[in-house]
């Protein structure tokens, strides 16, 4: 295959969760640009429709599905809709996630469970639903976080625990489904990117805590993490499984 063909996803169907904003939109657009038909899922349907419109205006095909991935039945229903519309699922990007910044001495069980239910349990339910219909050669990309590997000065026990758990889940599913199903399972661990989420941080926090740890001296562009997702989903990443690819501008090693 030519270098260009290695990164193509023509004829593939990709499902991206949390595709109503931020990195989820970037993943969806990049997969569509690589030739995949894309199913975007999230709880906010109005924003999902905007993602679909963006993909279709660029000549791609997309379908929006409202889904709360913390509910296993809604995960199975989303996969069913993808199969009905496009005939199957070949790529899953488990991007949906939420977080809190609550001191551990004050965090309630409900707050902690809500984060884990989406970030870890939800990723598992969606992977489980997709694996039931995925053919050999399919790929799952779980979106973890650099905060699974380091800290960033905020009290984020639920978020970091759930994202660290996702790395362990990635390894286990890779060893289960690689030999039996021919499904590759990897994770990406993004650092700080220019998205709606990072806009919520104060300038003082960014300037004093985060920027000094970024070896490249800047936040990442969403396209820079989306490209890694395309690589892991495409034939170019065909011999990669069970891995966590850290895309953080060097933050985890400072």
Beta bridge partners of 190: 247
Report the topology of domain 3-248.
Rossmann fold (3.40.50)
Q: Which two tokens stand for residue 140?
A: 């799952």
Question: According to the model, what pLDDT value does residue 31 have?
Answer: 98
Supply the pLDDT for residue 123. Answer: 98
Domain layout of the chain by residue ranges: 3-248
Q: Catalytic residues, which ones? A: 159
pLDDT of residue 1: 83
| pLDDT-above-90 percentage for the chain | 94
- Burial of residue 67 (number of CB atoms within 10 Å: 0-12, 13-18, 19+): buried
**pLDDT at position 48:** 96
pLDDT in tens, 160-194: 999 999 999 999 999 999 999 999 999 999 999 99
CA-to-CA separations, 180 to 67, 142, 184, 233, in angstroms, rounded: 28, 19, 11, 19
Please state, in angstroms and rounded to a whole number, the distance separating the CA atoms of residues 13 and 132: 15
Under 8 Å between Cβ of 26 and 32: no
Q: What is the pLDDT of residues 84-123, one digit of tens each?
A: 999 999 999 999 999 989 999 999 999 999 999 999 999 9
Residue range 30-58: mean pLDDT, rounded: 96
The angle formed by the CA atoms of residues 129, 133 and 136, to the nearest 5 degrees, is: 120
User: Where are any strands of DSSP class E within the chain?
Assistant: 13-17, 37-42, 62-66, 91-94, 139-143, 184-190, 244-247
Tell me: the pLDDT tens digits for 191-222?
Answer: 999 988 788 889 999 999 999 999 999 999 99
Q: What confidence score (pLDDT) does residue 208 get?
A: 96
The confidence score (pLDDT) of residue 196 equals 80
């Amino acid at each position: 295959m030519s270098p260009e063909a290695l990164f193509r996803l023509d004829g593939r169907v990709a499902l991206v969760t949390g595709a109503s904003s931020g990195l989820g939109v970037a993943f969806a657009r990049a997969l569509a640009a690589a030739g995949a038909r894309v199913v975007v899922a999230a709880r906010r349907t109005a924003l999902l429709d905007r993602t679909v419109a963006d993909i279709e205006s660029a000549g791609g095909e997309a379908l929006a599905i409202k889904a709360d991935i913390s509910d296993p039945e809604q995960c199975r229903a989303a996969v069913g809709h993808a199969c009905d519309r496009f005939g199957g699922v070949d790529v899953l990007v488990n991007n949906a996630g939420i977080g809190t910044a609550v001191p551990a001495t004050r965090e309630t069980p409900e707050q902690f469970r809500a984060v884990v239910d989406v970030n870890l349990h939800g990723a598992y339910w969606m992977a489980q639903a997709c694996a039931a219909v995925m053919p050999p050669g399919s790929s799952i990309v779980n979106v973890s976080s650099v905060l699974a590997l380091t800290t960033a000065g905020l009290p984020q026990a639920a978020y970091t625990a759930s994202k660290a758990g996702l790395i362990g889940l990635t390894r286990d599913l890779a060893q289960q489904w690689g030999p039996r199903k021919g499904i590759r399972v990897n994770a990406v661990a993004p650092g700080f990117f220019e998205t709606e989420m990072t806009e919520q941080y104060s300038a003082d926090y960014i300037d004093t805590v985060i920027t000094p740890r970024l070896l490249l001296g800047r936040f990442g562009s969403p396209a820079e993490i989306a490209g890694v997702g395309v690589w892991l989903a495409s034939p170019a990443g065909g011999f990669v499984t069970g891995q966590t690819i850290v895309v953080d501008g060097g933050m985890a090693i400072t």
